[in-house]
Amino acid sequence: MTPPETPKDGFAAQGTRSPAVSVYVPDNSMNISDTARPEVITKRRDFLAAARARRQGTKGMMVQGRKRREDEPGGDVTRLGFTCSKKVGNAVARNRAKRRLREIARLILPSHGRPGWDYVLIGRADETARRPFEELKRDLIYALKKIHR
């Protein structure tokens, strides 16, 4: 299907595009470690195991972390889980809080996380969504240092 603003011959004049066309231009500054994603925890038993392990609360979130046993699957992969209870708010508020937690985890865990560990980030009511982003990053770094002691 052709968007209505596209010229009939299919070719736009130099420098113009129809609004439905998007062009992906890869950023050459990205490297493999920027695009690699840690494994996501989805099983309830893994969340429960993390809940029984070490935890550290901060103003913006609660972080649970546990070192996996040698006989557990996953090897040296860092695994992540995210959760927000209904105390955080409605679905929109919970999803916003989880998006912020995912982004800080993406930025901080490659340098401060450890392979073979499971981390669960839990959003806090009113704080996770409203706290300044730089402070959330500092909260996660602080919590990880305490958990790894």
What per-residue confidence (pLDDT) applies to 39?
87
Count of the separate structural domains present in the chain: 1
Task: Please indicate, yes or no, if residue 18 is contained in any of the structural domains.
Answer: no
Give the Cα separation of 123 and 62 in Å (integer). 7
Q: Determine the Cα–Cα distance for residues 87 and 96; give it in Å rounded to an integer.
A: 14
Which residue has better confidence, 46 or 15?
A: 46
Asked whether residue 106 is assigned to any structural domain, the reply reads yes
**Minimal CA–CA distance to 120: which of 108, 107, 105, 134?**
105
Question: Rounded to an integer, what distance in angstroms lies between the CA atom of residue 112 and that of residue 30?
Answer: 20
- Asked, for residue 70, whether it belongs to a domain, the answer is yes
For residue 48, what are the domain limits? 38-147
The tens digit of pLDDT for each residue in 6-38 reads: 566 666 565 555 555 555 455 555 444 444 567
**pTM for this structure?**
0.73
Domain containing residue 52: CATH number = 3.30.230.10
Question: What single letter denotes the amino acid at residue 146?
Answer: K
Average pLDDT score, the chain: 83
pLDDT computed for residue 71 by the predictor: 79
Q: Decide: 63 and 112 in contact? Cβ < 8 Å.
A: no
Q: How far apart are CA 82 and CA 45, in angstroms?
A: 14
23 belongs to a structural domain: no
For residue 29, being part of any structural domain is answered with no
In a domain, 9, yes or no: no
